[in-house]
Structure 1
Amino acid sequence: MTALTAPAATGTAHTHGSPRLTRWLLRLHRSALLVWTVFVLLGSALLLWLAGPLTDAAAEGWRQYNACGTTPRCSYDQDAILFYKSTYNYVAAAMAGLPFLVAAWAGAALTGRELESGTAQLAWTQGVSPTRWLALRLAVPAVAVTAGASLLVLLHHRAWSAAQGRIDTGKPWHDVWTFHANGPTTVALALAGLVAGALAGLVLRRTLPALLLGLALAAGVWGTAQLLMPHLWPAVTEETSLQQGYGHLYSGIQVDHGLITASGGHVPKLECYTTVSGGCARELEKLDAVGYYSTYHPVSHYWPLQLTTGALVLAVAGLGTAAAFWLLRHRTATPRTTA
């Protein structure tokens, strides 16, 4: 790829103050700021509605259903239960998509389009250094993303907590979307998406390709975090005898499960149960199995997992930020001339 040239400032150019540059950046991306504001306000309103009237109506529906017992043709408010479930799932899915939305915008509009159209190079002729240009483009959106995503996380946790013990089909804490929407990993992933998109724009310097690359990088960060998350904190192992059965006695994030042999060894992920006869019983005897084990994270590990996963994602975002500044300095360095 060809190097970017940072044009020398003209004699009449002067260095703008940060407040003025920030105002100019907000005007340039006012449409994105408006969309983000509407997204946060709408999401907040839905979460407040979910935590109050919708949870109350669904809880009453479940109370009616549980009171029916075995009574045939018993009436209960099924619509309230289903409406609560649908609304919760839609809101959780929207929050799960935050890193990808931010990455797509950052790649397409924040850096890719400005480099492709020459807007960035024009700014560099007005006394704004490339480093300062990039710093503002990361800092200002980062503040908006952090504030908006943090508000949504707090309201989501409030809505989720309101349903616990009242709605039988409420999502458990370890549900994938619920786990992230309830804690700071959502904010960390959104910031990582911002960095991924900005870096993609600097690499490709074209709008659409940067959008696609930003999405791919954000997906890579999300998938890696999800894969590593269960292993970032020591898990708990529970054991049961063959007579007790496999016994899914845990309620949390499963790391491993399988059989325990007479020597104390573990045979992972062998789906074999004492209630099954024939080949399964022969397999248990062949392995000299004496019980089952389950390695998992209980609810007490929620915050350790949130904090370690968030720290990992922020570390990746930090590396991406350093790579973005290095790449920009490398491409805008003034070439040396020989005498």
Structure 2
Amino acid sequence: MTTATAPAPTTATGASPHLLRWLLRLHRPALYVWTATVLVLAAALLWLGGPLTDAAVTGWRQYDACRGATTCAYDQDAILRYKDVYTYTTWAVLALPLLVAGWAGAALIGGELESGTAHLAWTQGVSPTRWLAAKLAVPGALTAVGTALLVVLHRRAWLAGEHGIDTAKPWSSLETFYANGPLPVALALAGLTAGALVGLARRRALAALVGGLSATLALWGTVQLAVPRLYPAVTTYTGLRHDGPAGSGITLDSGVVTADGTRVPDVFCGSAEYPRCRAVYDKLDAVGFYSTYHPSSHYWPLQWTGTGIVLAVAVLSAVAAFTLIARRTARKASTV
């Protein structure tokens, strides 16, 4: 059985270096895991954006050069390897906010309250609010720096293969859109504060783990549904001789327009040049196609809109956490 050593008292001017060292020592395994995760993913993304992309681009050039030939020799393994590594690293970057939220709830806050380590620190001259401030500030800085580094490397890797790999993910694909911008950084910080808030509320490691993960997943799902609808989209109209609704990007709605201006969901038939499709459109009294979507020029406005919303949630969660711990400790003090 080991005994936790409480940090030295802090002054009114700020957190003591002893408190920070104690925090890092107490959560040293988590620091090692986070550092290893960031380093491994960074190495994988550098490999993806360098040698893997070069090999895949060469493979596609070989494939394009021998189209129409009876036999074709191209490096299929390089193409498939690029696809696999891109998929795995992308989803790993997107999973970081969940990793942070689960750890914040279970170990950073909930576990310490359940084991009594937090209360021991409070009896040694560290106020609960200062304790919580250190708990959020140090992991928050490490989380932001690590996640931001991986996002930059992911975007670099995607840009390297954007025009040379025929099967490269477009900017508008769900996983690429979120892994290529600042949203994962904001989500990781929101996951940290949400996990801390749930940990303070539940004061049990397992309950805080589940609650932190659930809150972050709910926030992520809400962002995916809301952000494309919070920024004005573009609507284009085309004639029925086209193969379908036009417009490339994040599509919100598409279909056919009738003579009286009514919008009807897309019937996925194709151009009116085909007699069968012509009959379908005549039955609907359709006169053209429409598509409401976000083009590539909306990428950064969408990213910053979503990032602002998530950061606001992170700030509100942090404020709620400080309010909760202040009220609880004040209530306990009044009963003593």
Report the TM-score when normalising by structure 2. 0.91
Report whether the alignment pairs 1:316 with 2:313: yes
The CA deviation at 1:281 is: 5.4
> What does residue 198 of structure 1 align with?
196
> Could you say what secondary structure the match of 2:126 adopts?
coil
Moved more, 195-204 or 105-114: 195-204
The CA deviation at 1:77 is: 0.4
1:20-71 CA deviation, whole Å, 9 max, x = no partner?
A: 2111101111111111111111111111111111100000000000111111
Q: Of 51, 54, 60, which residue of structure 2 is paired with 1:56? A: 54
The share of aligned pairs that are identical, in percent, is 59
Report whether the alignment pairs 1:89 with 2:87: yes
The CA deviation at 1:239 is: 0.8
Would you say the 8 A contact 2:9–2:16 is kept in 1? no
> Could you say what secondary structure the match of 2:331 adopts?
coil
Bigger relative contact order, structure 1 or 2 (CA pairs below 8 A, ≥6 apart): 1
Q: Of 291, 303, 306, which residue of structure 2 is paired with 1:306? A: 303
Structure 2 CA distance for aligned equivalents of residues 312 and 84 of structure 1: 33
Q: Any stretches of 5+ residues in structure 2 without a counterpart? A: 1-7
Q: Of 289, 294, 300, which residue of structure 1 is paired with 2:291? A: 294
> What does residue 10 of structure 2 align with?
15
Would you say the 8 A contact 2:55–2:79 is kept in 1? yes
> What does residue 236 of structure 2 align with?
238
Q: Of 223, 234, 237, which residue of structure 2 is paired with 1:225? A: 223
Letter in 2 for 1:89: T
> What does residue 140 of structure 2 align with?
142
Would you say the 8 A contact 1:103–1:215 is kept in 2? yes
Root-mean-square deviation over aligned CA pairs: 1.9
Would you say the 8 A contact 1:14–1:126 is kept in 2? yes
Structure 1 CA distance for aligned equivalents of residues 119 and 230 of structure 2: 43
Alpha-carbon distance change, 253 to 99 in structure 1, aligned in 2, over 3 angstroms:
same
Structure 1 CA distance for aligned equivalents of residues 165 and 299 of structure 2: 21
> Could you say what secondary structure the match of 1:334 adopts?
helix
Alpha-carbon distance change, 71 to 245 in structure 1, aligned in 2, over 3 angstroms:
closer
Structure 2 CA distance for aligned equivalents of residues 84 and 172 of structure 1: 15
Report whether the alignment pairs 1:250 with 2:247: yes
Letter in 1 for 2:69: T
The CA deviation at 1:73 is: 2.5
Q: Any stretches of 5+ residues in structure 1 without a counterpart? A: 1-12
> Could you say what secondary structure the match of 2:232 adopts?
coil
Structure 2 CA distance for aligned equivalents of residues 336 and 24 of structure 1: 25
Report the TM-score when normalising by structure 1. 0.90
> Could you say what secondary structure the match of 2:74 adopts?
coil
> What does residue 31 of structure 1 align with?
29
Letter in 2 for 1:34: Y
Report whether the alignment pairs 1:114 with 2:112: yes
Letter in 1 for 2:222: T
> What does residue 184 of structure 1 align with?
182
Would you say the 8 A contact 2:10–2:19 is kept in 1? no
Size of the aligned set, in residue pairs, is: 324
Q: Of 40, 55, 64, which residue of structure 2 is paired with 1:42? A: 40
The CA deviation at 1:268 is: 4.0
Alpha-carbon distance change, 172 to 14 in structure 1, aligned in 2, over 3 angstroms:
closer
Structure 2 CA distance for aligned equivalents of residues 302 and 226 of structure 1: 14
> What does residue 285 of structure 1 align with?
282
Letter in 2 for 1:323: A
Would you say the 8 A contact 1:173–1:179 is kept in 2? yes
